[in-house]
A and B are shown apart, each in its own frame.
Chain A
Amino acid sequence: MTETWSVILALTVGTFMIRLSGVLIGQQIPKDGAWARGLRALPGRLIVSLVAVSLLSGGPREWSAGAVAIIVAVVTKNLPTTMASGIAAIWLLRRFS
């Protein structure tokens, strides 16, 4: 129980530090150039990395469900539809394969 609250406290402190650092040093963040492009790109690349990590931690069923979700995301650009298709795909694969 204490450990869980420690995790929550650590997340709270870290999140507020990141947010307040934006308030305090936001004006110093470069607006153009290589650093600015890198900072702008960082959230997207982290999310791509996160998807890669998630899929790598699974097996062929997760990869297949991931492929279905990617196709649906490319076609629909819709979050709920992509989530529903991914969940349905992994459910079907686990149940029937």
Chain B
Amino acid sequence: VINQQPAADNIETLMIMPHDTPRDVWTGARDVSPLAAGVAIYGLASGLLAAQAGFVSFQVGVMGAIVFAGGSQIVAVQQVGRGCWGRRGDSGGTRSKPETAPGHRLDPRHLRRSSLVAGCARRACHDRRKLGAHAGTARQRPERRLWYLVGGGLCLVLVWCLATVAGVIFARAIPEPEALGMDFAFTAAFIAIARSLWKGRTDLFPWLTAIFVVAASVRLVGVAPSWALMLGGVAGAGMAGAIGHD
């Protein structure tokens, strides 16, 4: 489930195919269904965290449908729970000024995915292109058929929404999720994702750079965790760009 990185990076190869038809929506949904189990687990974890942050099931369902940002959404919800948006952690009745959306810092894969869809839909009308950009996810393999991508994306949107709402309901039924260790689901999930992104020794130095910058920012400088996350990611990516080779 976790090894779902794009198989092709060349946008020029992703031209819309002449046999692309709305029927491919079902093919895409069918082919992506094995991923749905992983998405459901993320969704449950996201719903649990959202419930802990004070979201109700309707809000979580709406957020899942229109934001649909997977791990980024989990991070954003977690920041709400920590009070970074001015909800929890406020003292004396004063509310801290919300930070910029931390979830948006997390997943530039959406930009890349959208660019792939744009290449795929070069001959498609603009509305279909927008639909493909929203429904296409960072975990789908690039395909040559736009309707295929839309079908797979819509399947995952549906699973994501249902799972996040189920997570909220589940959290309501558990008096203390932390007592069962459910609060660690998020960290464990991202450890698994990080493992899937490891490509070999060339990643070692950029990874250590990211970890070092995060640790130094939080422990030595006292930077807020969401900003430390950003700094670590950019530093690690900068190191990968500087020392790597094509």
Contacting pair A45 B103 (CB below 8 A)? no
B interface size (C-beta, 8 A): 102
Main SS class of interface, A: helix
Distance between Cα atoms of A39 and B236 in the complex (Å): 11
Contact between A53 and B218, CB atoms less than 8 A apart: yes
Contact call A18/B80, Cβ cutoff below 8 A: no
Q: Can you list the 7 inter-chain pairs with the closest CB atoms, starting with the nearest? A: A26-B115, A22-B114, A86-B188, A38-B241, A45-B236, A49-B232, A46-B233
| Closest residue on chain B to residue A54 by CB atoms | B187
A4 and B59 contacting across the interface, CB-CB below 8 Å = yes
Interface of chain B, main secondary structure: helix
**B residues 196-233 with Cβ under 8 Å of A?**
196-197, 203, 206-207, 209-211, 213-215, 218-219, 225-226, 228-233
| In contact, B119 and A27 (Cβ under 8 angstroms) | yes
- The reply to whether A79 and B189 contact each other, CB–CB distance below 8 Å, is yes
Contacts of A47 in B (CB 8 A): 71, 106, 190, 193-194, 197
Report yes or no: B207 in contact with A23, Cβ–Cβ below 8 A. no
Is B123 on the interface with A (CB-CB < 8 A)?
no
Q: How many interface residues does chain A have, given as a range?
A: 35 or more
Distance in angstroms between the alpha carbons of A8 and B54 in the assembled complex:
13
Q: Please tell me if B166 contacts chain A, counting CB pairs below 8 Å.
A: no
Question: What residues of A have a CB within 8 angstroms of the CB of B160 in the complex?
Answer: none
Contacts of B231 in A (CB 8 A): 49
Could you write out 17 A-B pairs with CB less than 8 Å apart? A7-B85, A15-B72, A22-B115, A32-B246, A42-B233, A42-B237, A48-B197, A48-B211, A49-B230, A53-B232, A66-B191, A73-B192, A79-B41, A86-B184, A87-B188, A91-B181, A94-B179
Q: Does A80 contact B (CB under 8 A)?
A: yes
Residues from 1 to 45 in A contacting B, C-beta threshold 8 Å: 3-5, 7-8, 10-12, 14-16, 18-27, 29, 31-45
